[in-house]
A and B are shown apart, each in its own frame.
Chain A
């Protein structure tokens, strides 16, 4: 038995973590993540969630506490955003390279200067080299469900890589909609306890983790990370399917496809503006353009095969990046183009930069991106959408 509650994406994350019976939460407040940790703190203090909450003095310490906790076998959770994630960055690498299972919610928010609190994906994508599995959820429901799925994935013995779940600032984090909250028994049946290997608990055969390692030993550990990412691709699909069996909802695994079966043009997006993309595609269909949406759910492992399969044969692909790597352009566009390279007939990929600093991405914006893509035969530079040229 599950029940519908009206809740924000942030509360979806909090309920997902609580249902996953997280044991150790360590977090530092930052807008717009705060309501996640406030909710979890309330759950711990009222006793509805039996967990320890370490109210650390910085984000770097938040993830350090999770690294310590996971090394001693605890199921750990944290959440952050933007500059908090950046401040934590050293420990993000540490958790990934230490192969520790844990889940972190990242409310994707633009970076400064200047200060801004609205959505952009650059903060999340800037972590793409850390060895974390990383995903962006589109909806509040997916946010809740993804936390449970994430613990299944991260603690799988063939994976053992931490998972970060991105949610667009305010659009998903703070907008309240009805969310189906699974019941605890069903989640317990889906997600077993005590799956975190805690080497620090072993006093019989004590081990040291991470002391100086010469080059002749080090490379193989990185190879294993790459192997784990490959295993993760399978596990992500498997977990999503099993979640669907158990709870009646699944999201397409690595990439969610919308009206792609007979599409000739695709728009590739991640996160909340996939909603606008789906509306755009619906409108274009009625205007005679056979378009579809490939929503990249997972940025790492980068779903190369899934995207090749989905986009192979397309006449054109528009990528709408809500992120920027200055000097390269749109990150998802760049990674997609690289993934498609080598196909016999790769689709033409056109990049669009939109929504930076939280600027609105409208249905019309995405329609325009797709229409432009239908008209052009050359890829060219990334096009910047909705730019106020009078300010340049």
Chain B
């Protein structure tokens, strides 16, 4: 009997379904933790889910971050700056 998965194109949830999207960056967000007020706006607004909640402040997961800059634009205390990628 053919497995159902061979009959029908079923995809399974996987990080990086678009490949290594970190390579799309031309600049990357850098957080100044001393300025972060942990308002979580960047976590909420990040289209990629690349900002992670932590104990005291957020941190940026660069594995898939595309460098769109929304986090920088929306951060109330301007704790995030965009830095050119090498």
Direct contact of A and B (CB under 8 A): yes
CB within 8 Å of B: which residues of A?
Answer: 98-99, 157-158, 160, 197, 199, 205-211, 213, 217-218, 220-221, 224, 227-228
Interface size on B, residues (CB 8 A): 11
Asked whether A98 lies within 8 Å of B8 as measured between CB atoms, the reply is: yes
Which residues of B are found within 8 Å of A211, using beta-carbon distances?
Answer: 9, 11
Query: 5 tightest A-B contacts by CB?
Result: A207-B10, A208-B11, A99-B7, A99-B8, A224-B7
Asked whether B11 lies within 8 Å of A228 as measured between CB atoms, the reply is: no
Q: Is the interface of B mostly helix, strand, loop or mixed?
A: mixed
Which residues of B are found within 8 Å of A205, using beta-carbon distances?
Answer: 12
Candidates A157, A197, A221; contact of B9 at CB < 8 Å = A221
**How many Å lie between the Cα of A217 and that of B1 in the bound state?**
20
Which residues of B are found within 8 Å of A157, using beta-carbon distances?
Answer: 1-2, 4
Report 21 cross-chain contacts, Cβ distance below 8 Å, ordered by A residue: A98-B8, A99-B8, A157-B4, A158-B1, A160-B4, A160-B7, A199-B8, A199-B10, A205-B12, A207-B10, A208-B11, A208-B12, A209-B11, A210-B9, A211-B9, A213-B9, A217-B9, A220-B6, A221-B9, A224-B2, A224-B6
CB within 8 Å of A: which residues of B?
Answer: 1-2, 4, 6-13
Q: Is the interface of A mostly helix, strand, loop or mixed?
A: loop
Which residues of A are found within 8 Å of B4, using beta-carbon distances?
Answer: 157, 160, 197, 199
**How many Å lie between the Cα of A266 and that of B82 in the bound state?**
81
Candidates A99, A207, A218, A220; contact of B12 at CB < 8 Å = A207
Asked whether B2 lies within 8 Å of A227 as measured between CB atoms, the reply is: yes
**How many Å lie between the Cα of A1 and that of B66 in the bound state?**
69
Candidates A208, A220, A227; contact of B10 at CB < 8 Å = A208
Which residues of B are found within 8 Å of A220, using beta-carbon distances?
Answer: 6
**How many Å lie between the Cα of A228 and that of B2 in the bound state?**
9
**How many Å lie between the Cα of A208 and that of B12 in the bound state?**
7
**Nearest chain B residue, comparing its CB with the CB of A220:** B6
**How many Å lie between the Cα of A197 and that of B6 in the bound state?**
14
